[in-house]
Structure 1
């Protein structure tokens, strides 16, 4: 058998398998925040993003920052998913089970609810800027926006969060 032939159990080139194993948890966590706490949709989006990367892995693996590109693909996958008519789902007040309880469940639930109420582009800006700790330029590149649009969306979205959280905001912001 030729050494380049793959079997049905093979998940692609070893370099891609290593990349996917190293980055999948990070992608799922980011998708979880983007979806407003929907763990199942987050896993689906991360898997779809990895599928898109797999198709172009030769080109992507030669990039300077394949992880950044993967994050951009994930955000674009999230945004296109929200635009599809078939993605209309009814939000419920139940959350997916977690293996370990978070440090402060009330804070987590409150912030996830507040994030879920933001428009999708504003939510994406906040998550990339403040959760992923990207700069304005990197966020602008990932979302195909101008840096000034990123700054204005971030400011507007933070204002909406402050309004939504009200008095809780000061308590939540304290360490």
Structure 2
């Protein structure tokens, strides 16, 4: 972990102090709600129960919901976004939507960073059904676009590589 961002943040351990997420320069008052450490443990337990329960929603809806909940819980001092994106990939494989980890979501999230954070924060700040629907719509739109892009990229790479015998 030398030379990486977040090396001060007790890697692999859940946080013991309050943190928050928000737009650059925001104060705790302006930030998205993040549960205090004592509540965080219960939130993680509830999320784990949901992940392991019998699926009642389509896989992409589950991924969007689980990703949102993980980001809102924000259990680590650093790396929550990276782990949240990995959760999406693991879930799509585990639930049979993808055969292997072919998605690299970080580039897509970076490209649409503004909309991603706006939708994420709207759900937390206002808790309106319409905001949750916009979050789900944004997330569910993301996955097929990224899958299509990644497949095309893989095909181009295969076409450039020498034929194997």
Pairwise same-fold verdict (TM > 0.5): no
Return the TM-score normalized by structure 2. Answer: 0.29
Higher helix share: 1
